[in-house]
Structure 1
Amino acid sequence: DYVEIKSESKPTPQKSSRKPYKELLTEEEKRANHIASEQKRRNTIRAGFKELTDIIPTLKNVNNSKSTILFKAVDYIKYLERRNRNLKER
């Protein structure tokens, strides 16, 4: 036979997974945020290329394209790896 057992405890209230209400941004605010984040991204990239030109000897005092900077950076890293390998072999 089937016996139904009732629980005396009250069900625990479920916490809502929703975030508290936030005001929605206007299109103009969204656009301004997008522009600001894009400018920050570009400035970060620019700073990275500037740092590469400062630490790679063949890039100093020369105006290079971004692709040239990347290729010369790769060449310099490969040179350093070869040099380290040769020094370890001594």
Structure 2
Amino acid sequence: MSTSPAREGSANAASNDTAEEKPRLSEHEKKANHIASEQKRRQAIREGFDRLTELVPGLEGQGRSESVVLKKTVDYMRAQLDERRRLVARIEELGGHVDDGMRR
């Protein structure tokens, strides 16, 4: 079965209209968009590390060593989890009840 020339022409015209409305990006524009996207991603990471240095004790005034920030953050979180377990155990020793959701 063949398609009539009118249908082919109208299908091509529709796709041409779409292409005319939104032209393809040039290689220069693609590269600029990629660079801007990468800069935005890196900025978000920097802001996340800055926020960690505000939240984790002992990181104030530290250099921007991301490995140090991550290690000290993990150490701090483990200490907080240990403290939580101790508190749950103490509450139960004193006869209190702790919901299962609060044990973790």
Same fold judged by TM-score > 0.5?
A: yes
1:62 Cα deviation from its structure 2 partner = 2.0
The reply on whether 1:67 has 2:61 as its aligned counterpart is: no
Map of 2:35 onto structure 1: 35
The TM-score normalised by the length of structure 1 is 0.75
The TM-score normalised by the length of structure 2 is 0.65
Map of 1:57 onto structure 2: 57
The reply on whether 1:82 has 2:82 as its aligned counterpart is: yes
Structure 2: 5+ residue stretches without partners: 1-14, 91-104
What percent of counterpart residues are identical? 47
The reply on whether 1:23 has 2:41 as its aligned counterpart is: no
SS in 1 for 2:58: helix
| Large movers: runs of 4+ above 4 Å | none
Q: What is the rounded CA distance, in whole Å, between the counterparts of 1:74 and 1:64 in structure 2?
A: 16
Query: What is the count of residue pairs matched by the alignment?
Result: 73
Q: Which has the higher helix share?
A: 2
Q: Give the stretch that moved more between structures: 26-35 or 55-64.
A: 55-64
Structure 1: 5+ residue stretches without partners: 1-18
